Structure formats: C-alpha cells, structure tokens
Amino acid sequence: MKNFSITREKIEIQPLIDFVSHPNAGAICTFIGTVREMTKGLKTLYLEYQAYEEMAEKKLRQIGDEIVAKHPEAKVAIIHRVGHLDIMDVAVAIAVSTPHRDASFEASRYAIERIKEIVPIWKKENWEDGQSWIGDQKEKVSYPTGKPEIKEEV
C-alpha cells in the first residue's frame, strides 16, 4: 500500500499500523476520524467527500515530512476516504510510530489538524432537511496572502 493515500474503499486500520511498525518504535498512536450523526442538533444522514486527489496525496505526504522534520525517527501513514460515507464509517485514519509515546500523540494530533488546513478534501453534509458543502472548519475563511500560513512548529 501507499503510506499517504486517498481511497474510495472502506478503510482498514491494520495496514497503517503494519506500515509504521518497526523495531525502534516504542509507541504507535492511531487516530480514526468517523462520520458523526448529530452536529449541533442537526441530524446527518450521510456525507459525501470529494478530493483533488493527486494534490491531496502530495499534501498528506507533506504532513508526513513535516512530522519527520520534527521527529526524525517517526514513521507516518495517513489514508482518507472519499465518496459516499455513512454514519460511523471511517473517513480518515492516521498512524504514527515513534520511539517514545509523547511524540506519537503530538504528531498524530498535528496530522489531523494539518489535514483540516492544507489538504484539498471537502465534505458535503446531507442533513435531514437539506445539504451543504462544509468549509472553514478552522475558521480560516480567507487567505489574504493567497495561501495558508505555513506553520513553523510541529
């Protein structure tokens, strides 16, 4: 498997864990993002995810590179699903291995936050009473400089 990928299939977690497993790892942290039914009182029926797939895979890889720049011994794998997703389906999965636990927690948190900033993937909510494309989850509605701020710190 590729360690940074966009898929249309159901996500399996174990291949990501296998990918980051190695003898010097003392910790593997996984994050699994799933489709939630209720958001602020609104009921979601299902989601549709769309990606600019080739660029999205590049940006996932960039996130992995940023993590390795901060934690040289880290291994990272990220997969994001697109298409029609039902409640409780896995939308994204991240696995990070590091020699010690602190770095693996920090890096997996960093990865999911960074996905919401720079990876060209969009979610369309299909509510009980309508539908809408969701943007601006991090309240960054506009980019006066034309691109998102690049974070220095991991």
**Residues lying near other proteins in the complex (CB under 8 A):** 33, 49-52, 54-56, 58, 80, 91-92, 112, 115-124, 133-137, 140-143, 145-148
Separation of CA 87 from chain center: 17
Residue closer to other proteins, measured from CB, 33 or 73: 33
Residues contacting residue 4 through CB under 8 Å, at least 6 positions apart: 57, 60, 61, 63, 64, 76, 77, 78, 79
Give, in order, the Cα–Cα distances in Å from 95 to each of 32, 43, 47, 80, 148.
9, 30, 23, 12, 25
Q: How far is the CB of 99 from other proteins (least distance, A)?
A: 27
Our CB check for other proteins shows the closer of 29 and 121 to be 121
Q: Which is nearer to other proteins, 25 or 35 (CB)?
A: 35
Cα 132 to Cα 31, 39, 83, 126: the distances in Å are: 26, 13, 15, 7
Rounded least distance, CB 47 to other proteins, Å = 10
Give the shortest CB-31-to-other proteins separation in angstroms.
Answer: 9
Residue 74 or 115: the one with the smaller Cβ distance to other proteins is: 115
Both tokens of residue 87?
């409640």
Minimum gap (Å) between residue 9 Cβ and other proteins? 17
Nearest-angstrom CA–CA distance, 34 and 88: 5
Q: What are phi and psi of 52, to 5 degrees?
A: -90, 90
Cβ of residue 154: shortest distance to other proteins, in angstroms? 18
| Nearer residue to other proteins within complex by CB, 88 or 141 | 141
